[in-house]
Structure 1
Amino acid sequence: MADIKYTITQHIGILSESSKGWKKELNLISWNDREPKFDIREWSPEHEKMGKGVTLSKEEIVALRDLLNGLV
């Protein structure tokens, strides 16, 4: 399997933290030198390991925001 290259271009915030120090974060990440996208996933304390996550375009994150705003 080929290595996946990523760069966290903007740390937006932490959604939660586990007892082992892993943090579920919202970041802007450039995957394999592509345009940065919004990304939600768990990261180990030093960002050396990551869990499975979801990557969203700007349009998708706006749609998610709108959906969540409709819940309240």
Structure 2
Amino acid sequence: MAEIKFEIKETIGVLSESAKGWSKELNLVSWNDAAPKYDIREWSPDHTKMGKGITLTKEEIKRLKDFLSGLNL
């Protein structure tokens, strides 16, 4: 299985942290030397391991922001 190359270009924020120390984060990540995308996933404390997540383009994150701002929380 091919190794996945990644680089966290910018840490935007931590959404939550588990009892085991893993944190769910919103970051700007470059995957396999591609242009960075917004990324939400869980990371180990040293950022060497990751859980499943979702990546979003700038346009998708803007739409998500619009959706969230319309919620009555």
Q: Which runs of 4+ in 1 moved over 2 A?
A: none
User: In 2, distance between residues paired with 1:61 and 1:44?
Assistant: 24
TM-score, with normalisation over the residues of structure 1? 0.98
TM-score by length of 2: 0.96
Q: CA RMSD in A?
A: 0.5
Residue ranges of structure 2 left out of the alignment (5+ in a row): none
1:8 aligns with 2:8: yes
CA positional deviation for 1:49: 0.6
Q: Which blocks of at least 5 consecutive residues in structure 1 are unaligned?
A: none
- Report the counterpart of residue 68 of structure 2 in structure 1: 68
> What percent of counterpart residues are identical?
68
User: How many residue pairs align between the two structures?
Assistant: 72
TM alignment of 1:28-47, pairs within 5 A: 28-47=28-47
